[in-house]
Amino acid sequence: MAQLEIRNVTRRFGDLLALDDVCLKIETGEFFTLLGPSGCGKTTLLRMIAGFDAPDSGQILLDGKDLADTPPEKRPVHTVFQSYALFPHMTVAENITFALRMGHFTQSEISARLHASIEQMRLTGKTCKYPHELSGGEKQRVALARSLIKRPGLLLLDESLAALDARLREEVQVELINLQSELGITFVFVTHAQTEALALSHRIAVMNQGRLEQVDEPSKLYGFPRNRFVAGFVGHINQLGAQVLESTPGRLRLSVPGMGDIVAPAQASSLTGQAGIFSIRPEQVRIGIHDELAGLKNHFSGKIQSVLYQGDVSVYRTKLADGVIIEALLPNSAPGRARLFEIDDTVKIGWRHDAGIFFHD
Amino acid sequence: MHDRHPWLWAAAMAAYAFLYLPLAIVVAYSFNDSRLNVEWTGFTWHWYQVLLHDKNMLVAAGNSLLIALVSCLISTVLGTMAAIAIHRHDFKLLNFMVMTPVAMPEILLGVSLLLFYIQVLHLTLGMLSVVLAHVVFSTGFVAIAVRAALAALDERIFDAARDLGASPWQSFRHVTCPLILPAMIAGALMAFTLSIDDFVITFFTAGVGVQTLPLHIYSMIKTTVTPEVNAVSTLLMLLTLALIFTAARLAPDTLKGKY
3-state secondary structure A7-45: EEEEEEECCEEEEEEEEEEECCCCEEEEECCCCCCHHHH
Q: Are A159 and A190 in contact (CB under 8 A)?
A: yes
A98 to B167: CB separation less than 8 angstroms, yes or no: no
pLDDT over threshold 50, residue B257: no
pLDDT tens-digit map of B30-89: 888 877 767 778 888 888 888 888 888 889 888 999 999 999 999 999 999 999 999 988
In chain B, pLDDT over 90 holds for what percent of residues? 36
Of A180, A206, A232, the last residue of a domain is A232
When pLDDT is averaged across residues A21-29 and rounded to a whole number, the result is 94
Long-range contacts made by residues B123-127, C-beta under 8 angstroms, separation at least 24? Answer: B124/B207, B124/B209, B125/B205, B125/B206, B125/B207, B125/B208, B125/B209, B125/B210, B126/B206, B126/B207, B126/B209, B126/B210, B127/B63, B127/B66, B127/B67, B127/B209, B127/B210
| B5 domain-assigned | no
A73 to B178: CB separation less than 8 angstroms, yes or no: no
The tally of domains found in chain A comes to 2
Task: Report the alpha-carbon angle A95-A98-A100, nearest 5.
Answer: 140
Same domain, A38 and A173: yes
Same domain, A189 and A286: no
3-state secondary structure A119-148: HHCCCCCCCCCCHHHCCHHHHHHHHHHHHH
CATH code at position A159: 3.40.50.300
DSSP states of A266-326: --TT--TT-EEEEEE-GGG-EEESSSTTTTSSEEEEEEEEEEEE-SSEEEEEEEETTS-EE
Quick one: A253 exposed, middle or buried, by C-beta within 10 A (0-12, 13-18, 19+)? middle
The model's confidence at residue A229, banded by pLDDT at 50, 70 and 90, is very high
ipTM for the complex shown: 0.81
pLDDT over threshold 60, residue A235: yes
Of A232, A266, A283, the last residue of a domain is A232
Same domain, A176 and A58: yes
Q: What pLDDT shows up at residue B1?
A: 47
Q: What pLDDT shows up at residue A271?
A: 80
Q: Give me the helix-helix angle, A136-148 and A107-120, nearest 10°.
A: 140
Same domain, A138 and A197: yes
- When mean pLDDT is compared over A293-307, A325-339, B24-38, the highest value belongs to A293-307
Same domain, A202 and A174: yes
A130 to B157: CB separation less than 8 angstroms, yes or no: no
E strands, B50-191, where? Answer: none
Of A232, A258, A273, the last residue of a domain is A232
pLDDT over threshold 90, residue A247: no
Interface residues on B facing A, Cβ-Cβ cutoff 8 A:
153-154, 156-157, 159-167, 170, 174-175, 178-179, 259
Sign of dihedral through CA atoms B182, B183, B188, B192?
positive
Same domain, A122 and A186: yes
Q: What pLDDT shows up at residue A334?
A: 73
Q: Are A299 and A354 in contact (CB under 8 A)?
A: no
A73 to B163: CB separation less than 8 angstroms, yes or no: yes
Separation CA A287–CA A136 (nearest Å): 42
| Domain of residue A297, residue span | 238-360
pLDDT tens-digit map of A52-68: 999 999 999 999 999 99
B165 to A89: CB separation less than 8 angstroms, yes or no: no
Separation CA A1–CA A26 (nearest Å): 9
pLDDT tens-digit map of B204-220: 988 887 889 889 888 88
Same domain, A159 and A280: no
Nearest-CB residue to B167 (from A50, A73, A101):
A73
The model's confidence at residue A283, banded by pLDDT at 50, 70 and 90, is very high
Q: Distances in Å between the alpha carbon of B181 and those of B38, B145, B188? A: 47, 10, 10
pLDDT tens-digit map of A164-174: 888 888 888 88
CATH code at position A242: 2.40.50.140
Same domain, A250 and A186: no
CATH code at position B191: 1.10.3720.10
Q: Which residue from A219, A361, A208 is spatially nearest to A278, judged by alpha carbons? A: A361
Mean confidence (pLDDT) of chain A: 90
pLDDT over threshold 90, residue B227: no
| Domain of residue B188, residue span | 47-258
Which of B153, B157, B159, B163 best tests the A interface by mutation, with the highest count of A CBs <10 A?
B163
pLDDT over threshold 60, residue B252: no
| B84 domain-assigned | yes
Separation CA B251–CA B183 (nearest Å): 6
The tally of domains found in chain B comes to 1
